[in-house]
Chains A and B, each alone.
Chain A
């Protein structure tokens, strides 16, 4: 009973928060509400027995995205006042929202209510996949090709973001002089590395994996940007390029190797699949961490109070 109540509460709060995010006039409040919404949805996904996703959502979908948006506000709040942050009042918007929800809800409610999906098929071949965790099996074996293209998506995004803002690769103008934060970072680093390594390893048989680990490492990188004199990695450095690209190169190599012995792309031999997947994941962890880290250009002191008073 309490569980049902919690579910109903969460399910009701999510769209409500979403509406508030877009309704609020102040941009910084919007972002804060967005982060709150993200944390609630991570909770919803935990309720739906999706711990892998809950982890990634909390770290990437909410944490990193929220930080990126917050950080962007310190740049964009100088936008001319003619672009108001608030939606013009449009009656059609409410009607459209209701109509869309109704139509989509109708389709959702006509779906069968106890469909196992592909659970049986995934389980039937789990032994051949080289890993014990079904989600990892789908991600890196059954549908590993999706993941290969997804790595390309990450590379394109970081290349594009860097191409647009090359000059913002400056070092932090004033890293926090607070000795406590610097010390905290030094103490955190080994723990972060340990957690990331553990997440890759555990991904073979439980919730975890390259994305979760990469996100943790990237989070550490962002903290380093804030607290130390370390600058954002530059594309012009060959070390950075190798760190970024070794993972994708290894993955491509592992993908095409079977082609030369008459098998299909990504068709690992059953005996080697586990090892290949683990090595690829380890290399990808570094690349993913680098990409997510490099999404953050040089820091500027945030002016949260100012952006709180958006011109309306």
Chain B
């Protein structure tokens, strides 16, 4: 099979897996999903290898090519995202199997495979309208996942997420329509060549950015995030925060760095940067003031998304590397923390922050994971978060915009405060009268594996950094 043909499998295999998992009914779901997961991961790994050795790959789907057809494009950034989804996603889904009931399995697994298919399709797509379809597929599958337990909080969270994500997609689609109206193209490459400053480009960029920021979400559009993340089952929250929210951010990054580059003025960059900085500070402060454990971690996501927007004011290749490195390490670290939160809820059934008291001794792996994940969120070495923030800090000084460096440092300080709040409690003596249910070892190891990925990203950053450089020399 030709190297470009490999691009199809990370999209097709999870889709086929999802359809077959639905077809086999209740008995074979786990087997089908397991086989599909291994196959999809393998395909993503092979594609990564092909891109690392051969450079950027393209496939004109249907053999047409732009402007008539849709094109897939795999550069270093795309395959790094594929790999992140392919490693973090299955680890979360393994944890979900024990966390959710037997009945939910039958729905969780096909839905997760649909999300995986959609995210891989999103990452590879170089077509503005095709991206809309993938965004909607991600959204609907996420909504179904959030509500999979059919309890009132989950249903409310699902409906809330749907009703915020839908207008986000529609704003994006309107932008696509305007761009097509002026440039008669949907391919991102063609649009990037043809774009000229003017009312259409400005308005399209505005509505598309607004829509994607609503979905990601960027401060101050984050109002839906805390209740949604809290109401969803914990493994689903982990998926939302680690992977799903990155989907719309990824589209935003592609748009601004590859299509709207000529209209990325200083003011636009600073504006997005200011919102990002506000997200960092506001999110961290609110994380500090929460009394529920899950909400602390949820507000921390608001802050971490904020850092990713510091890319836009600097808009250098280095800043892109830093932001993407943060996306990857945050995916691992935050997934680990949410999965750990799920373990804690399962063990003591207390959702308050005080519920962690004394648990470090009973659930050592879970809290080790929490600590390692926390280190990455703070940005302390050795962790992926440290590398990412270091690169961003360097860029902020190098571009003469030191104020973003200040935001990075302040955010790290606040993060250490809320991480410390969780960890400190866990070392206090176990309060009397609290019974700790034992957690299956696999469930304790899943967050640890995720946290170790965040750690390894800090220890051996060369491979991902080299990969990210593939396809940037244009």
The yes or no answer to A144 lying at the interface (CB within 8 A) is yes
Return chain A residues, CB-CB under 8 Å to B321.
none
B38 proximal to A (CB < 8 A): no
CA distance A238 to B148 in the complex (A): 22
Interface contact A160-B19, CB-CB below 8 Å: no
B140 touches A107 (CB 8 A): no
Asked whether, in the complex, the Cβ of B198 is within 8 Å of the Cβ of A110, the reply is yes
- Mark the stretch among B173-181, B331-339, B391-399 that contacts chain A: B173-181
Quick check: is B147 within 8 A (CB to CB) of the other chain?
Answer: yes
Residues of chain A contacted by B198 (CB below 8 angstroms): 110
Give A96-133 as 1s and 0s: 1 = Cβ < 8 Å from B's Cβ atoms.
00000001101110111001011001100100000000
**CA A268 – CA B184 in complex, angstroms?**
25
CA distance A252 to B9 in the complex (A): 11
Q: What's the interface size class on B, roughly?
A: 35 or more
B455 within 8 Å of A (CB atoms): no
Whether the pair B15, A252 counts as a contact (CB closer than 8 A) is yes
Question: Complex Cα distance A108/B204, Å?
Answer: 10
Contact between B136 and A106 (Cβ–Cβ < 8 Å)? no
Q: Which residues of B contact A164 (CB under 8 A)?
A: 144, 147, 150, 155
> Taking the nearest CB of chain A, how far is it from the CB of B68, in angstroms?
5
Would you call B8 an interface residue if the criterion is a C-beta within 8 Å of the partner chain's C-beta atoms?
A: yes
Interface residue count on the A side (C-beta < 8 Å): 53
- Which of A14-22, A66-74, A145-153 lines the interface with chain B? A145-153
In the complex, what distance in Å separates the CA atom of A256 from the CA atom of B19? 15
A263→B63 contact, CB < 8 A = yes
Judging by beta carbons under 8 Å apart, are B12 and A255 in contact?
yes
Q: Which residue of B lies closest to A246 (CB)?
A: B23
Taking the closest CB of chain B, its distance from the CB of A75, in whole angstroms, is 13
B315 within 8 Å of A by Cβ?
A: no
Q: Which of A149, A252, A264 contacts B16 (CB 8 A)?
A: A252
Residues 143-159 of chain B, each 1 if its beta carbon lies under 8 Å from chain A, else 0: 11001101000010000
Are the C-beta atoms of B4 and A163 separated by less than 8 Å? no
Q: Is the CB of A241 within 8 A of B137?
A: no
Which chain A residues border B445 with CB–CB below 8 Å?
none
Please tell me if the beta carbons of A142 and B118 are within 8 angstroms of each other in the complex: no
Assess A256 versus B147: contact at CB under 8 Å? Given A142-B68, A159-B110, A264-B61.
no
Residues on B with C-beta less than 8 A from A265 are 8, 12, 59, 61-62
Beta-carbon contact of A146 and B23 below 8 Å: no
Binds A, one of B126-134, B281-289, B343-351, B401-409: B126-134
Say whether, besides A104-B203, A111-B182, A267 and B63 are in contact (CB < 8 Å). yes
> Which residues of B sit under 8 angstroms from A241, Cβ to Cβ?
22-23, 25
- Whether A264 contacts B67 by the Cβ 8 Å rule is no
Q: Which of B107, B111, B137, B200 contacts A111 (CB 8 A)?
A: B200
Report yes or no: B147 in contact with A160, Cβ–Cβ below 8 A: yes
Q: Which of A244-295 contact B (CB under 8 A)?
A: 244-245, 248-249, 252, 255-256, 259-260, 262-268
A178 → chain B, closest Cβ, in Å? 36
Q: Point out the residue from B4, B62, B178, B207 that lies within 8 Å of A266, measured CB to CB.
A: B62
- Alpha-carbon distance between A145 and B64 when the two chains are bound, in angstroms: 12
**Are B62 and A149 touching (Cβ within 8 A)?**
no
- Chain A residues, Cβ within 8 Å of B202: 107
A155 on the B face (CB < 8 A): yes
Q: B163 at interface (Cβ–Cβ under 8 A)? A: no
Known: A156-B141, A163-B150. A145 touches B184 (CB 8 A): no
Query: Is the Cβ of B4 less than 8 Å from the Cβ of A118?
Result: no
> Which residues on the A side are within 8 Å of B204 (C-beta)?
107
CB <8 Å contact, A163 and B147: yes
Main secondary structure of the interface of A (DSSP, over half): helix
When the two chains form their complex, are residues A249 and B19 in contact, meaning their CB atoms are under 8 A apart?
yes
0/1 interface trace, chain B 51-70, chain A, CB 8 Å (1 if under)? 00000000111111001111
- Given A146-B70, A256-B8, do A267 and B62 touch, yes or no (CB 8 Å)? yes
Chain B residue at smallest Cβ distance from A162 = B107
Q: Is B133 in contact with A150, judged by CB distance below 8 angstroms?
A: yes
Distance to closest chain B CB from A194 (angstroms): 30
Task: Determine the distance from Cα of A143 to Cα of B60 in the docked complex, in whole angstroms.
Answer: 11
Q: Which residues of A lie under 8 Å from residue B184 when comparing CB positions?
A: 115, 117-118
**Closest chain B residue, CB of each to CB of A137:** B68
- Given the known interface contacts A145-B62, A152-B114, A156-B111, the answer about A121 and B68 at a Cβ–Cβ threshold of 8 Å is yes
Query: Is B199 a contact of A110 with CB atoms below 8 Å?
Result: yes
**Quick check: is A184 within 8 A (CB to CB) of the other chain?**
no
Q: Which chain A residues border B1 with CB–CB below 8 Å? A: 259-260
Residue of A111, A145, A236 with most partner-chain B CB within 10 A: A145
Q: Which residue of A lies closest to B58 (CB)?
A: A264
A104 to B171, CA, bound (A): 11
B472: interface (CB < 8 Å): no
Q: Is B117 an interface residue (CB 8 A)?
A: yes
Q: A107-B200, A117-B180, A160-B144 are in contact. Are A264 and B62 (CB under 8 A)?
A: yes
Q: Which residues of chain A are near B207, meaning CB under 8 Å?
A: 104
Residues A108 and B69 in contact, CB atoms below 8 Å apart: no
Q: Given the complex of chains A and B, what is the CA–CA distance between A108 and B175 in angstroms?
A: 11
- In Å, the complex CA distance between A115 and B180 comes to 10
- Is A157 part of the binding interface, using a Cβ–Cβ cutoff of 8 Å? yes
A141 interface residue (CB < 8 Å to B)? yes
Q: Is the CB of A153 within 8 A of B62?
A: no
Q: Can you name 22 A-B residue pairings with CB atoms under 8 Å? A: A106-B199, A107-B178, A110-B198, A112-B181, A115-B181, A118-B68, A118-B184, A142-B68, A143-B62, A143-B70, A146-B70, A149-B130, A152-B117, A155-B19, A156-B140, A160-B140, A160-B147, A241-B25, A242-B23, A260-B1, A264-B4, A268-B62
Leading 4 A-B pairs by shortest Cβ distance:
A160-B144, A107-B203, A267-B63, A266-B62
Extra contacts besides A141-B62, A256-B8, A266-B63 (8): CB < 8 Å: A103-B206, A111-B178, A111-B181, A142-B64, A155-B22, A156-B144, A160-B144, A262-B2
Q: Which residues of B contact A (CB under 8 A)?
A: 1-2, 4-5, 8, 12, 15-16, 18-19, 22-23, 25, 59-64, 67-70, 107, 110-111, 114, 117-118, 121, 129-130, 133-134, 136-137, 140-141, 143-144, 147-148, 150, 155, 174, 178, 180-182, 184, 198-200, 202-204, 206-207
